[in-house]
Amino acid sequence: MPRPRRRLASTCIGTVTAGLLATGAALAAPGEDRRGGSDTAVGAYLDYGPPGVARIPYLSRWLGGREIRVGHTYLPGDQWAGIEGNVSFLDDWAAWRLAGDDRMFVLNVPMQARNEERVPDREVARLIRAGAQGQYDRHFRRLAEKLVALDVPDTVIVLGWEMNGTTYTHRCGPDPENWKAYWRRVVTAMRAVPGQKFRFDFAPNRGTDAIGWTRCYPGDDVVDIIGMDSYDQAPGRNFDEQISQPYGLQQHVDFAKAHGKRISYPEWGLFRNGDNPEYVRRMLKWIEQHKPLYHTITDYCPHGVWQCKENPRSAKVFRDALTPESPGPVIPTPVVPTPVVPTPVVPTPVVPTPVVPTPAVPTPQLPTPAVPTPAFPTPAVPTPQVPTPQVPSPAAPSPAAPSPQVPTPQVPTPEVPSPAVPSPQVPGPATPSPVVPSPVVPSPLVPAPEVTAPVPSPAVPSPAVTAPVPSPAVPSPAVPKPEPTPTPTPPRPQPKPEVPPANSKQWCVPLNFGEWLSKLVGRQSVCVQLDWGKASGFWPF
């Protein structure tokens, strides 16, 4: 594979390029947009020392503000001192790396001194065995300490790159097994340094070259990334053959996937076929499709596109593909207002509908008269008892009905014996429960003592009585069922009983049945007719 031009810079040149770095950083700030949303970090090898650091912002500006996240350089492999990191430009790269959290520092590390002196295979085999026995561990330990001291312990170490080829002294072909053992010792020695976070990238050439690169793979425990250097050269006459050839691009992707590793492309670019824009287009498409951890194009002639003016068509393809897509000016679409033709609103005449009132005919409220059904009790007519000479006062039951008071009749003068007719007292507003009275048997008038004629009444005359004393009306104890008491009305005045004429043979006493029963049966009287004729011997005149 092509050899990068690695020239050590003097202190003076380093000072000048440090100034260019500061100026360039102000000229082109890295952009934020990443095409396709890929997390692949983009970089380029621009120079091994401070000039390479200083050119990064210019490359970013040329790419329309694309952020250059990968800084890539090589340690010189002519002496062990260079492999141990005793070079001044590591300070510049460490400063660049620490300026951004998302930046990545990729460092190619040779595994042997005199790495580009075309050492024969027999000598290479001896050096490999020495390394497998641990004779060079101290050199790599010193390098790890140097990187940790520079505060770049996460550096990506591309150790013994292109080991399947014939260019470098650290090649694998002369003794693959001891070469793998040598790799393991280097990784173990560097990982033993406190504070390290290194990632080791196993990066062969594309294709078989001197040996199939899978025969040199040292193991998953000492490899973090599986990379590949791929230039536009044989084997493979076109890009499709570069994909499908043995140990080509497809086998590289498949092998890394089988081992659970991320892929990378530390070196790629033009070479044998000159300015080949189709190769650049296809390679960038492949990278976008498989999303490696990072890729860096080797940007010097004949491989590059920015610093090499011999490849203008390829440079245009590279630039167009990696320039962030920026939105163009927004041209407002003219809005042509649609004329609004007012539609005349023809009012619809509202014809009022006459409201014919429905006459409200009141429904007369006819009260249902509560007609009390009169209960006609069967009056219990007691058998009249013949009173003894002593007239007992009949015991009247005590319903609420008052007993009428019968006044003592006036004794008539000798000429006209006119017995007074008793007037019963009218009860008050409180209407008593109706009582069905029994027929009153009046006591006969007792004649004067001088009269000896027999009295037809069963009553025995008292010798002390000079005038007839009527007995009061005794109501029957039988009480009819009370009916609902109507609204009390003022008592009507009772007509005065007709007074029988003096010297009449008939004496009548009115009966009091109560107001409501009197309405039903009428006014009743009990009359006793006495024959006081002249022939009777009782007639006083």
Q: How far is CA 441 from CA 49, 128, 193, 475, in A?
A: 163, 168, 152, 11
Question: CB count, 10 Å around CB of 144?
Answer: 24
Do the strands 156-159 and 104-109 form a parallel or antiparallel pair, or are they unpaired?
A: parallel
Give the per-residue pLDDT at 519: 73
CA distances from 241 to 234, 250, 278 (A): 9, 10, 14
Res 477 pLDDT > 60: no
Return d(Cα 498, Cα 510) in angstroms, integer: 9
Is the pLDDT reported for residue 257 higher than 80? yes
pLDDT at res. 39? 81
Give the Cα separation of 184 and 132 in Å (integer). 8
Omega cis (within 30) before 76 = no
Nearest to 491 by CA among 425, 438, 421: 425
- The pLDDT assigned to 389 comes to 44
pTM over 0.75? The answer is no
Closest CA to 121 of 161, 167, 180, 177: 167
- pLDDT, one tens digit per residue, over 84-98 is 999 999 999 999 999
How many CA atoms lie within 13 Å of 164's alpha carbon, on the beta-carbon side?
22
Question: Under a CB-based contact definition with an 8 Å cutoff, are residues 419 and 410 in contact?
Answer: yes
Q: What whole-number percentage of the chain has pLDDT above 90?
A: 52
DSSP label at residue 100: -
Q: What's the rounded Cα separation, in Å, for the pair 230 and 212? A: 15
Q: State the DSSP string of 220-243.
A: GGG-SEEE-BEES-SS-SSHHHHH
Q: How many residues does the chain have?
A: 541
Span 333-369, pLDDT tens digits: 666 666 566 666 666 666 566 565 665 656 656 556 5
Cβ 205 vs Cβ 229: under 8 Å: yes
Respond yes or no on whether the N-terminal peptide bond of residue 302 is cis (omega within 30° of 0).
yes
d(CA 176, CA 371): 136
Domains of the chain, start order = 11-322 (3.20.20.80), 497-541 (no CATH)
Please state, in angstroms and rounded to a whole number, the distance separating the CA atoms of residues 52 and 90: 12
Section 160-188 average pLDDT: 98
**377-430 pLDDT, tens per residue?**
554 545 545 445 454 444 444 434 344 444 444 444 444 444 443 444 444 444
**247-265: string of b/e by CB count within 10 Å (b at 16+)?**
bbbebbbebbeeeebbbbb
